[in-house]
Amino acid sequence: MLIQFPIIIPLYSVLRYSLDMRNASFIFWLKDLSEPDPYLVLPIIMAIFMILQSLMMRPPKMDESQMDDKQKAMQSQQKMMTWMMPIMMFFIFRGMPAGLVLYWTAFNILSVVHQYYMNKHFKNKES
């Protein structure tokens, strides 16, 4: 995620203040990539894929009777982050330019596809 910030900050400035990006449409409901998505479709899709990626990256569940207090606390925090981070990102990105949300959504979709193939690859090697 830290690698993305040097890309996101200039992209935000370009999309928000560049006259070339005004009225640059992409999808039929997005008439201007420099303005927020009026129907919130992209932020919703982004949040869904963030949740999906979080669920795919979680380690397998352990039996709670075999866990100590630190492990239980860590599992609880991870469960909270699985749901809270995408919701928080939705509220942050709903007011951002649609081009920036489109970039982040595409990144999330590619991350989910990558994680799926990684999980499938490692599962096949274990068996």
pTM, two decimal places: 0.79
* Structural domain spans, the chain: 5-60+68-126
What pLDDT is recorded for position 13? Answer: 78
pLDDT digits (tens, 9 = 90+) for 27-50: 778 888 888 999 999 999 999 999
Task: Please give, one letter per residue, the 3-state secondary structure of the chain.
Answer: CCCCHHHHHHHHHHHHHCHHHCCCCCCCCCCCCCCCCCCCHHHHHHHHHHHHHHHHHCCCCCCHHHCCHHHHHHHHHHHHHHHHHHHHHHHHHCCCCHHHHHHHHHHHHHHHHHHHHHHHHHHHHHC
Positions of the chain with pLDDT lower than 70, given as ranges: 1-2, 19-21, 24, 127
